[in-house]
Amino acid sequence: MSNEARLSRRGLMARLLAGAGVVALAGCEKLSETTWFPRVLGLGEKVTYGVHRLILPRKAMAQEFTEADLSPDFRGNGTLMPNNPAYQALAAGSFADYRLEVGGLVQRPAAFSLAELRKLPSRAQITRHDCVEGWSAIGLWKGARLGALLEAVGLKPEARYVVFHCADPMEDDGTSPYYESVDLEDAFHPQTILAYDLNGKPLPIRNGAPLRLRLERQLGYKMAKYVMRLEVVADLSRIAGGKGGYWEDQGYEWYAGI
């Protein structure tokens, strides 16, 4: 082959390579906007969930810290004051009228006042809060063990998930209340608590007063704040967007272990 022919073949190849790069990048943007491709990418979450459940012992504990590690000022993130008159009325009365409703696939639906929640078996733990954005903060949390609360109301055999319905609307017009869900393995984990205290004081409003979930082996967005009602369900598909949580309905992973 002559040098000229080789050079032109190389020139063509270089242009093809550069073109392929541009097409690939533009293609990635287009792919992100289809419905099917993010679903394919979502296989990563299924593999992660499966592998984590396989290699992590059920009761494997998240790291706990000492008082020396506490963040001087535990950051509030997301909603800092729910835009919800009913909630604000409860807050004005120091949550004296607050009742946590527990229903769905349970034997004995119930409502718990804060005083009753404080009488349930509790746990205090100094743990690290990891936000999906990347930052971490360390706090001392005390709350009722979710497993003990679920045992108190009794689960029906078809129960699979616990859904947390919250007081904070995510839309400016007061709609789209925040919600979250966990499977029973996480619900009965010893560090999974409904926290009412942060750093030895009642939970501040910006951190989710009067009650928030602590789910120490997953990311922050799973730990619903302003929890008003627990609903035990067999599947998540008929609640809101059907993905098991407010952020999940926006495309975030339901399993937030990584």
Partner 1 sequence: MENFRRIMARGSAYGRQALLALAEYGRSALLGAGRLVRKSGAALRSGLERAREALRRAAPGGYLYYRHPLPVRIMHWCNVLLLATLLMSGLNIFNAHPALYWGRQSYDGAPPILEVVGRQSGAGELSGVTRLFGHDFTTTGFLGASVDPSGEMAERGFPSWLTLPDWQWLAMARRWHFFAAWLFVVNGLAFVAFAVASGHLRRDLLPTGRDLRATGKTIVAHLRFRHPRGEAARQYNVLQKGAYLAVIFCLLPLMILMGLGMSPAMDATSPGWVDAFGGRQSVRTIHFVVAWMLVLFVLVHVFMVIVSGFWNNLRSMITGNYRIHPEADHEQ
Residues contributing to the site for partner 1 (CB under 8 A): 10, 25, 28-29, 32, 38, 40-45, 47-48, 52, 55-56, 60-65, 69, 71-75, 128, 130-138, 216-219, 247, 250-253, 257-258
CA-closest candidate to residue 233, choices 187, 168, 178, 177: 187
Min dist. Cβ of residue 217 to partner 1 (A) = 5
Min dist. Cβ of residue 91 to partner 1 (A) = 25
Q: What is the CA radius of gyration of the chain?
A: 23
Min dist. Cβ of residue 184 to partner 1 (A) = 16
Q: DSSP 3-state assignment of 15?
A: helix
Decide whether 107 or 250 has the Cβ nearer to partner 1: 250
Q: What's the CA gap between 130 and 189, in Å, rounded? A: 18
Please give the structure tokens belonging to residue 33: 């906007």
Q: What's the CA gap between 60 and 76, in Å, rounded? A: 28
Decide whether 59 or 119 has the Cβ nearer to partner 1: 59
Min dist. Cβ of residue 105 to partner 1 (A) = 26
Decide whether 13 or 96 has the Cβ nearer to partner 1: 13
Q: What's the CA gap between 218 and 60, in Å, rounded? A: 13
E strand segments, 119-226: 122-130, 136-145, 161-169, 177-183, 193-198, 201-202, 212-214
Decide whether 78 or 103 has the Cβ nearer to partner 1: 78
65 half-sphere exposure, CB direction, 13 A CA radius: 16
Min dist. Cβ of residue 26 to partner 1 (A) = 9
Decide whether 11 or 202 has the Cβ nearer to partner 1: 11
Min dist. Cβ of residue 124 to partner 1 (A) = 17
Decide whether 117 or 138 has the Cβ nearer to partner 1: 138
Q: What's the CA gap between 228 and 206, in Å, rounded? A: 16
Please give the structure tokens belonging to residue 96: 């004296």
